[in-house]
Structure 1
Amino acid sequence: MVEKASEAELISEMEAKDRYSTRYYELKYKCEDRPSLVSSESSIKGKRSFKLPPIEFKKYSGDLIDWLPFWSQFRVVHDDLSIDLNDKIAYLRQATIDGSKARRLVESFPAVADYYSKIIEFEV
């Protein structure tokens, strides 16, 4: 069941193969080049010659409507492995409104590192 292809069809297939092959290698090159871009970006970030002013946390009341804006800001602290868990609890307390249900929740746990993940779990 071998089909005979015309010369024009064979040429068309070969050109399509060449285009595909060229595109494949272009994309492969771009993917292989990405790690150098990432490492150069991270080295640029580490060379800041000035100090930025501290960011004031958006205060969280415990209302669900305020959760995403609050968490998008606080997540920087949450994901930073260099910050001690006790300090994260202190930052979390400072980022809640005094007397709010969020503050009451944070203060209902002892301010020790072992409870940080539980506090975050209940906040969410």
Structure 2
Amino acid sequence: MAAKDDLGRRGELLAAQRLAASGFTVIERNWRCSQGELDIIARTGDELVFVEVKTRSSVAYGHPFEAITPVKLARLRRLAGAWCEAHPDQRGRVRIDAVAVLAPRVGAVTIEHLERVG
């Protein structure tokens, strides 16, 4: 389990770095409440962006984006609402994005960013 946790943390770090390099301001990472956790909260322009990061070492069990189901999207919407309630000083339009990180043991890392997934 530790290796999987390490892979997930590495993927989230790489995703945050990619977002920052693309002009996003990362506001918070790994925000938790009783309902769950948001991987990355960022801002771009006047939009608050809640980013779900999925990291895999291969596509043997499917592409990382395949793990973002309708149930997961509904949960992300609830979590985004909870974050906004907890941070009333943060204003702006809200969207949910997803970042897929493929980080094989050998070879180049691939990062894909999908905007407005839910």
Which category describes the TM-score, using the shorter chain as reference length?
under 0.3
**Looking at both structures, which has the greater relative contact order when contacts are Cα pairs under 8 Å and sequence separation is at least 6?**
2
TM-score norm. by structure 2 comes to 0.24
Higher alpha-carbon Rg: 1
TM-score norm. by structure 1 comes to 0.23
Q: Which has the higher strand share?
A: 2
